[in-house]
Structures are given as C-alpha cells and as structure tokens.
C-alpha cells in the first residue's frame, strides 16, 4: 500500500489544513495525490464543523506541479488513457475551485506548472517572499490546458499568455502585482498572515460565503444587463430572508458575535 500523499490537520476550530507531503519530489502530484486531494476536499465539504480549508505544501516548496515520472508515463500511453487521466486532474481542480467553503493557498518556495493551477483554484493566495511561480509546461512540449482556465481567471489573458509562452519564473512581488497572489509576507510571518486571513473569513456567514462563490462564479466582466440586474435582485431578496441573515442582523444590533463564529 502506498504512503499517504497528504497530511490533514486542524489549524484551529473551524479550519482544516490539507498539506501536500511528498517533500522528496517537492510535493509534485501524480494520480495518487490527485485522487487523495479530491477525496479530502469532499470530506471537508461534507463536514459541517469545517468553515475554511487551507491548502499547503510541506518542506521548502509549495508544489513542483505534475510529477515528471507520471508525465513520462503519460507521454508513452495511448490517447484514451491520457484522456481519462487528464479528466481526473481537471476534476480535482474543479473540486477546489467550486468548493462551497472558502479556500486559502499557503505558498512558500516554488509553485510550478500544476502548482500554479492549485494556487489559482483557491479563493485566496498568501505567499512568502521567497515564493516563485512558473507556468512551465511548454518546456516539456505540452501546454497548461487543465490549469489554463484558472490561471486566466486569476491574472487575465495577457498575463496568462506571457507566463505560459515564456515559461518565465516570476518572484512573489510580481505575482502580487499580476493578481496571482493576494498577499506577500516574510516566511517567518507566513502562518501569522494565514491565520489573520482565516480570522477574517470566519466572521462571514457560511451560507453567505457559499452564495458569494456561486454568484461571482457566474458573473463575467462586461455590461450589467437587465438580466444581471434582475438576478441580483432575486438573489439578495432570497438570501435576506434566510435564518443566517436574521441571525447576522440580530447579532449586530445585540452587539454580540453571530452564532456561526467557532468558539
């Protein structure tokens, strides 16, 4: 039986952390890790005691992306095998992206190829100042197909094309400028920054955050049409009538924490 690819822990009440733990290959993922990440996200999505999920990498680096031995096997396999294999990676990224609970990427060291995809699939990305990022697939004669939509959503098409075409490695400061990450801190202060972000997330109502993720996922940059305005009215009128909304307003006026904040 193969060793587990992940370490699972609780950072604090309401917060689960999934840590990729293949340090010998800089947390590169293969079929086993892909399946394990998806299954673990499913587990925490179903767990009502989990409000926030942190995705991290053990050791010096966040993730080197796809395991090269796995990619070599794929290059020698039939197209049919490659299609099924690629669908599993696409499904795992989708599970992270569509997770109804807030997700936070904790990044140190290198995030390469698919590791960048993991960062972009999370809602919030916090990086140490020693972090670096490269969309490196073209170096191996392939393209970032499965991670491409998430990279584009994070940084926009022009930045994404530059990163994918040049395979250049960018440092944390440039990643911050492009929107690839949201915050950069020192390595020593990385966990403090993660904990601050987590505290901010726990203040929001879990149903409200689920609604935000669903609603924003369907919106596109562009004209605000009558259909979009109507959907906005329909959405807020429905959510304002929920029990969570009543509790939120009651807590505010009674000057107490709402009942969804973990003790």
Summarised one tens digit per residue, pLDDT across range 62-93 is 999 989 888 888 888 888 988 998 999 999 99
Summarised one tens digit per residue, pLDDT across range 145-185 is 999 999 999 999 999 999 999 999 999 999 999 999 999 99
What topology does CATH give the domain 6-202? 2-enoyl-CoA Hydratase; Chain A, domain 1 (3.90.226)
Residue 205 main-chain phi, psi, to 5 deg: -70, 135
The structure tokens listed for 148 are: 């491409």
Looking at residue 4, its pLDDT comes to 81
- Helix axes 114-121 and 148-155, enclosed angle (nearest 10): 60
> First vs last Cα of the chain: how many Å apart?
39
Neighbours of 184 (CB within 10 A): 21
What is the dihedral sign for C-alpha 96, 97, 100, 101? positive
Residue 11 near residue 49, CB atoms below 8 Å:
no
Report the alpha-carbon distance of residue 69 to residue 140 in Å, rounded: 12
Each domain of the chain, given as residue ranges in start order, spans 6-202, 205-253
pTM value is 0.95
């Amino acid at each position: 039986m193969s060793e587990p690819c992940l370490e699972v822990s609780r950072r604090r009440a309401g917060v689960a952390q999934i840590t990729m733990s293949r340090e010998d290959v800089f947390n590169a993922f293969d079929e086993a890790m892909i399946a394990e990440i998806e299954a673990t996200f499913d587990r925490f999505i179903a767990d009502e005691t989990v409000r926030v999920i942190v995705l991290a990498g053990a050791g010096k680096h966040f993730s080197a992306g796809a395991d090269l031995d796995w990619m070599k096997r794929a290059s020698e396999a039939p197209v049919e095998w490659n299609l099924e294999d690629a669908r599993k990676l696409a499904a795992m990224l989708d599970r992270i992206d569509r997770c109804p609970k807030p997700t936070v990427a904790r990044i140190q060291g290198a995030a390469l190829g698919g590791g960048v995809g993991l960062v972009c699939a999370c809602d919030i990305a916090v990086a140490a100042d020693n972090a670096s990022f490269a969309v490196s697939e073209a170096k191996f004669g392939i393209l970032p197909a499965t991670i491409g939509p998430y990279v584009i959503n994070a940084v926009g098409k022009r930045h994404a094309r530059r990163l994918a075409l040049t395979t250049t490695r960018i440092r944390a400061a440039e990643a911050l400028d492009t929107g690839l990450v949201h915050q950069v801190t020192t390595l020593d202060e990385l966990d403090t920054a993660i904990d601050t972000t987590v505290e901010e997330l726990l203040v929001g109502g879990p149903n409200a955050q689920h609604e935000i993720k669903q609603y924003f996922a369907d919106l596109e940059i562009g004209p605000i049409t009558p259909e979009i305005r109507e959907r906005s009215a329909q959405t807020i009128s429905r959510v304002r009538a929920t029990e969570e909304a009543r509790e939120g307003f009651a807590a505010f006026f009674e000057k107490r924490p709402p009942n969804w904040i973990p003790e």
